[in-house]
Amino acid sequence: MVFFGALVEIPIFSLVFSVISFALNKTLGERDKVKAYQKQVQAYQKAMQQAMLAKDEKKLEELRKRDKEMNDKMMQMMLMPWKASIVILPLAWIAISFVMPALYKDFVILLPFDIHLSAILSWTFYSNIFQAAAYGTTGFFIVCAIVFGLAIEGIVSRLWPSNPIVEAF
Q: Give me the tens of pLDDT residue by residue for the chain, a chain 169 residues long.
A: 456 788 899 999 999 999 999 999 888 878 788 888 889 999 999 999 998 998 888 888 888 889 899 999 989 888 888 888 898 999 999 989 998 989 998 899 988 888 777 776 776 666 677 788 888 999 899 999 999 999 999 999 888 876 655 555 5
Tell me the C-alpha distance between 122 and 118, whole Å: 6
15 CB-near residues (< 8 Å, 6+ apart): 144, 148
Tell me the C-alpha distance between 38 and 74, whole Å: 7
- If one counts the domains in the chain, the total is 1
Whole-prediction pTM value? 0.72
Q: What is the predicted pLDDT for the residue at 14? A: 95
Tell me the C-alpha distance between 136 and 108, whole Å: 5
Q: What is the predicted pLDDT for the residue at 3? A: 66
Domain assignment present for residue 168? The answer is: no
Domain assignment present for residue 148? The answer is: yes
Amino acid identity of 83? K
Tell me the C-alpha distance between 120 and 138, whole Å: 17
Domain span at residue 69 reads: 2-159
Domain assignment present for residue 167? The answer is: no
Q: What is the radius of gyration, based on Cα positions, of the chain?
A: 22
